[in-house]
Amino acid sequence: MRETLSPETIAIVKATGPALRRHGVEITTRMYARLFEDASIKDMFDQAAQASGEQPRRLAAAILGFAENVDKLQALDGAIARMVQRHVDTGVQPDHYPKVAAALLPAIREVLGEEVATDEVLAAWAEAYTFLADILIGKEQAAYAEAA
């Protein structure tokens, strides 16, 4: 697990904030459509929250918050704690994270286009996502162990 993100990755992720603010819900809606091709993952989600758009809005806000605070992650401690609890409540496991990345990154490119979501931007987001996933996985594993 990395201790920190590179300054280049931080700068790129922060620079995507305005695009995420404008297009985040569209990105997360498309991401969930890809992700839910796996019925076992779809079953983990409250489909009423999907249908109402609540879940895509919540995730879009979380992604935007991450982008805007990627250089000061302590500002996200409360949000991360809530996410960890929700993930533990729904049985999220480490092998789910690559599936989310495989749905999220193409959705970013699809919505923002190749001119904005360049290979460099997607590589930075892949690095940032993996960094955050490692944090979440560590905290979730601790919570699972504590609950056992």
Q: Which residues are catalytic?
A: 97, 140
Contact 103, 35 (CB under 8 A): yes
Residue owning tokens 């983990």: 44
Name, in order, each residue with C-beta under 8 angstroms of 106's C-beta and a sequence gap of 6 or more.
Answer: 34
> Are 7 and 68 contacting, i.e. CB atoms less than 8 angstroms apart?
no
**Residue 121 CB burial class (10 angstroms; 0-12, 13-18, ≥19):** buried
